[in-house]
Chains A and B, each alone.
Chain A
Amino acid sequence: MILKIKHYVIFITIGSLISCQTGPKKVSEVHAKQLSLNDSIAQIDSIDSYITPFRNRIDQVLDSPLAYASHNITKTKGALNTNAGNLLADIVFEQTKPIFKSRTGNDLDFVLLNYGGIRAVISKGTVTARTAYEVMPFENSITTVAMNGRAIRELVNYLVKSSVPHPISGIQIVVDKNKNLQAVTIQGKPFDEERIYYVATSNYLVSGGDNMVFFEKATSITEIDYIIRNAIIDYFKKVDTIAPVIDDRFIQKK
């Protein structure tokens, strides 16, 4: 063997009597092992060279500069909102609003994404499509839901209770030092429990992801058919500098 493979070869004989009668062919012995594809195995160059032009093309597209980040953009700094979360939610709002308007005639009210969906930091410097793949490797797409005021209250309560800086845009939530809700404003106006709101989120969350069960109460769902990562890439292409900040969209008063 040219390979250094861990063998899990342990001998167990199961079964007892073996009789030599004529009959159908039967398995007499089974050996199993797991082969690790490590660097002790020399690759077949013709396979690798077949991939090379595709790899080069991907690298060229993914690594072409699209924008510039003026500082590190991370979800790990900030209490109830972060610059990474704010950037993503703002991008989804900006990219979705015109599509939603043209499909439904309605105005998008706000965006809610999930904190766990941000998978990487955006480091200060050149931003590329690869950055978008790192931040958002999933194929989640933008979905909009119509929700009544009662369901929106549940949504807000979920955010307050979890105290996780889930990305939001278009909504402001203020809680006091005991985490009691003080104010909710949507598009700059006080929350009105009597009306319908239009919320953009990801199809993952609408289908019950992250236990955001309030989305089950949506009165209607409109698919935007726009992969979140593509919305991010499209945004990167149209701006020069990315400089999101932690702001007051979700805060706890001291």
Chain B
Amino acid sequence: MIASYKRNKMMNRRKFITNTVAGGAFVGVGGFNLTSCSFLSKKHITILHTNDVHSHLDPFPKDHADFPNLGGIARRAALVEQIRKENPNTLLLDAGDIFQGTPYFNFYGGELEFKLMSKLKYDAATIGNHDFDNGLKGLLAQMPNAKFDLLSANYDFSNTVMDGYVKPYNVYYLDDLKVGIFGLGIALKGLVNKKLYLETKYLNPIEIAQDISTSLKNEEQCDLIICLSHLGYSYEDDLQKPDDLKLAAQTEHIDLIIGGHTHTFLDKPTVRNNRQGNKVLINQVGCFGINMGRIDFYFDAQKNVAANGRSIHV
């Protein structure tokens, strides 16, 4: 009953947002905006993100049935470069399944994917199930090519060759702001051959997320907390299977969940309430590098906007 009540509430919320969005116009709920605080010298952080690129380095052919002439990392490089020029305080992130999907991976084992992501100056990525496709040794072999952080808080690699190569989280400093980012991966049993992940331990992602985000908030004093999740967007039929919507609802402190795995094409981020009733953004941009997500966070100049007093333009 409680669950269904919550779900109804969420559905109503969603409906409300959808209806509002459908109008395509400015709607000020409550009539208050940020008028009471100065907008001068606002701080601005831009988050760019991809997921499930699956070794798609080249654009799709012009005659492709689903994604004609879309994607390509050389284009993505141009877009990232241009946005970084507009705002140097930009982070570029990936939510996993970097590997597997084109012969580039079969031939070169992920070397090109990691080298090119390093050239694009990715800051961090999490580990998707297909990133295990050449086994732990296959992933380890590519680590020298990754000039970005590989983040996973719920895979314990301590009894594997990957021990020491993956951080649970990292804190990034931009314009005197602290951005805490952590990664979450999906249950490997039944999805990935045990020979590939060996003694990698999968830990409950939602419990870990709550712990890490609390410490990022209270101990690291982060101004923004982002989760790179390869859990998948939503498994409505399986209440026990963790997904991004459950993660948002059952934790506190996360501002943004960048998702992957389910190849979900969201034309705009989903907004959900967390356990404290604060807004969490959940975004995922399909797959194969045909889209890139862009989320801009503005911080009040006087650093003193009340909790939850954020306007979200999606």
| Residues of chain A whose beta carbon lies under 8 Å from any beta carbon of chain B | 2-3, 8-39, 41-45, 47-48, 50-51, 54-55, 57-58, 61-62, 133, 139, 203, 207, 223
Candidates A14, A28, A32, A61; contact of B305 at CB < 8 Å: A28
Query: How far is B72's CA from A38's CA once the two chains are assembled, in angstroms?
Result: 9
A31 adjacent to B255 (CB under 8 Å):
no
A47 adjacent to B119 (CB under 8 Å):
yes
Say yes or no: A47-B74 contact (C-beta < 8 A), given A10-B20, A20-B304: yes
A and B contact pairs by CB, cutoff 8 A, 21 listed: A8-B314, A14-B312, A15-B279, A15-B309, A17-B306, A20-B305, A26-B299, A26-B303, A26-B307, A28-B311, A31-B296, A31-B313, A32-B313, A34-B291, A34-B292, A35-B291, A37-B76, A37-B291, A44-B77, A47-B116, A54-B104
Query: How far is B75's CA from A223's CA once the two chains are assembled, in angstroms?
Result: 42
B79 adjacent to A35 (CB under 8 Å):
yes
Q: Which residues in A have their C-beta under 8 angstroms from that of B289? A: 37
Query: How far is B255's CA from A14's CA once the two chains are assembled, in angstroms?
Result: 14
> Given known contacts A25-B177, A30-B281, what 11 new A-B pairs fall within 8 Å (CB)?
A10-B25, A15-B311, A25-B223, A26-B299, A26-B304, A28-B310, A29-B34, A29-B297, A30-B310, A54-B104, A139-B100
B305 adjacent to A26 (CB under 8 Å):
yes
Shortest B115–chain A CB gap in Å is 8
| Residues of chain B whose beta carbon lies under 8 Å from any beta carbon of chain A | 17, 20-21, 23-30, 32-37, 42-43, 57-59, 69-79, 81-82, 100, 103-104, 106-108, 112, 115-116, 119-120, 133, 177, 190, 193, 195, 221, 223-224, 255, 266-269, 271, 279, 281, 283, 285, 289-300, 302-314
Interface centre among B20, B74, B281, B297 (most CB of A within 10 A): B74
Q: Which residues in A have their C-beta under 8 angstroms from that of B21? A: 8, 10, 12
Query: How far is B116's CA from A55's CA once the two chains are assembled, in angstroms?
Result: 14
B300 adjacent to A28 (CB under 8 Å):
yes
Candidates B77, B104, B302, B314; contact of A12 at CB < 8 Å: B314
Candidates B32, B72, B81; contact of A37 at CB < 8 Å: B72
B72 adjacent to A43 (CB under 8 Å):
yes
A41 adjacent to B78 (CB under 8 Å):
yes
B107 adjacent to A12 (CB under 8 Å):
no
B313 adjacent to A11 (CB under 8 Å):
yes
A27 adjacent to B297 (CB under 8 Å):
yes
Top 4 A-B pairs, shortest CB-CB distance: A43-B74, A18-B309, A25-B303, A29-B298
A25 adjacent to B299 (CB under 8 Å):
yes
Shortest A138–chain B CB gap in Å is 10
Shortest B106–chain A CB gap in Å is 8
Q: Which residues in A have their C-beta under 8 angstroms from that of B310? A: 14-15, 26-30
A28 adjacent to B42 (CB under 8 Å):
yes
Query: How far is B104's CA from A61's CA once the two chains are assembled, in angstroms?
Result: 12
Query: How far is B57's CA from A43's CA once the two chains are assembled, in angstroms?
Result: 12
B290 adjacent to A37 (CB under 8 Å):
yes
Shortest B192–chain A CB gap in Å is 10
Candidates B30, B33, B70, B281; contact of A36 at CB < 8 Å: B70
Q: Which residues in B have their C-beta under 8 angstroms from that of A2? A: 82
Query: How far is B285's CA from A33's CA once the two chains are assembled, in angstroms?
Result: 10
Candidates B104, B193, B283, B306; contact of A26 at CB < 8 Å: B306
Q: Which residues in B have their C-beta under 8 angstroms from that of A19? A: 36, 304, 306, 309
Query: How far is B34's CA from A150's CA once the two chains are assembled, in angstroms?
Result: 72
Shortest A215–chain B CB gap in Å is 14
Shortest A172–chain B CB gap in Å is 32
Interface centre among B21, B104, B133, B312 (most CB of A within 10 A): B312
Query: How far is B96's CA from A11's CA once the two chains are assembled, in angstroms?
Result: 30
B302 adjacent to A20 (CB under 8 Å):
yes
A47 adjacent to B77 (CB under 8 Å):
yes
B20 adjacent to A12 (CB under 8 Å):
yes
A25 adjacent to B300 (CB under 8 Å):
yes
B70 adjacent to A37 (CB under 8 Å):
yes
Q: Which residues in A have their C-beta under 8 angstroms from that of B77? A: 43-44, 47
Q: Which residues in B have their C-beta under 8 angstroms from that of A30? A: 281, 295-298, 310-314
A38 adjacent to B70 (CB under 8 Å):
yes
B37 adjacent to A37 (CB under 8 Å):
no
Q: Which residues in B have their C-beta under 8 angstroms from that of A61? A: 107
Q: Which residues in A have their C-beta under 8 angstroms from that of B305? A: 18, 20, 26-28
A47 adjacent to B73 (CB under 8 Å):
yes
Of chain A, the residue at the smallest CB distance from B119 is A47
Shortest A43–chain B CB gap in Å is 3
Shortest A33–chain B CB gap in Å is 5
Query: How far is B112's CA from A47's CA once the two chains are assembled, in angstroms?
Result: 11
Say yes or no: A21-B304 contact (C-beta < 8 A), given A30-B281, A37-B72, A43-B77: yes
Q: Which residues in A have their C-beta under 8 angstroms from that of B312? A: 12, 14, 29-30, 32
Say yes or no: A51-B24 contact (C-beta < 8 A), given A28-B309, A32-B296: no
